[in-house]
Structure 1
């Protein structure tokens, strides 16, 4: 249907798929080769030809974008976009609100126990964190927004694919695991756990990583 139907048929199909996915996504959209796009919220929503991911997708690449402000809703989102296989120069996209992204990656963690996950991009900006407030028009937070201790781990991990750290926070020893998310511009998911809880939740953390690496629409 997405490959061969009319625009309205495609959007009706995508709207049905959106309803099946338990609100994991904000909306789906389809764009033509000129960048004109329609969403499952709004027909003829605008033009995205100036988005950095647009030409990459038209050249055959599936892209997870940096956070952007949605042109149709004015909300901070990320976009996951792929070319439509049967049609050259058109794309299918899915969006996730930034405010929902942290909830998604923290589905199996417990912030009350000091166990949580967050995302940083390739420039070291924090994209999603469980303590973030309403982003409004702001796409990122910096390190000092969440961490007041001197050890700035971001500088140590930004150019590494994966690894782990051990450090002390508020006189408690903690472990942190991080891994680059495939398909992104060196985004990293970082998971904090206290040492005493490490064996209890390691399996859940690996599940979170697998979910983020396997994200599809």
Structure 2
């Protein structure tokens, strides 16, 4: 009887220890991202013909066509004045700006006030090694879209939905490779124009 009682005690103790270890495992759910300030938001030249390349903020090979201001929201606007130029030996005409935010779970809106002529819009992941993974989005003038970024502990997913909650973009990258999440807009021909506003919840 004593041996049986001792075995029962040891068995229950092992279960208790296993439960303690399991309950102390880290939670894979990520915490909300820290509140953004204008210093956290970075602006870079961008071209559709080089959409997988992150240019330096000071790069002058891409014409400076659009203006970006950052306060408690992001405002990207401007009208194209230049023509096609050579960038890294490639004729480049779809030029604009990329706005990059630090990694983290966020959400907000993107509203296009003006989209005149041949314009393109992208969501972009900044990857290690100065690379981009850019995905074009078909967006229309006069619509307030909803966007979100979610890290599940393994992958980071960007989503864009319409006011009716129809999914317009779904872009997933392994979280370990993500250095930033951004938005880009380009204008192609002289006189083409963009005016858009991006808000974020924190």
Q: Same fold (TM over 0.5)?
A: no
The structure showing larger relative contact order (alpha-carbon pairs under 8 Å, at least 6 residues apart) is 2
- With the length of structure 2 as denominator, give the TM-score of the two structures: 0.26
- With the length of structure 1 as denominator, give the TM-score of the two structures: 0.25
| Larger proportion of helix | 1
**Is the radius of gyration larger for structure 1 or structure 2?**
2
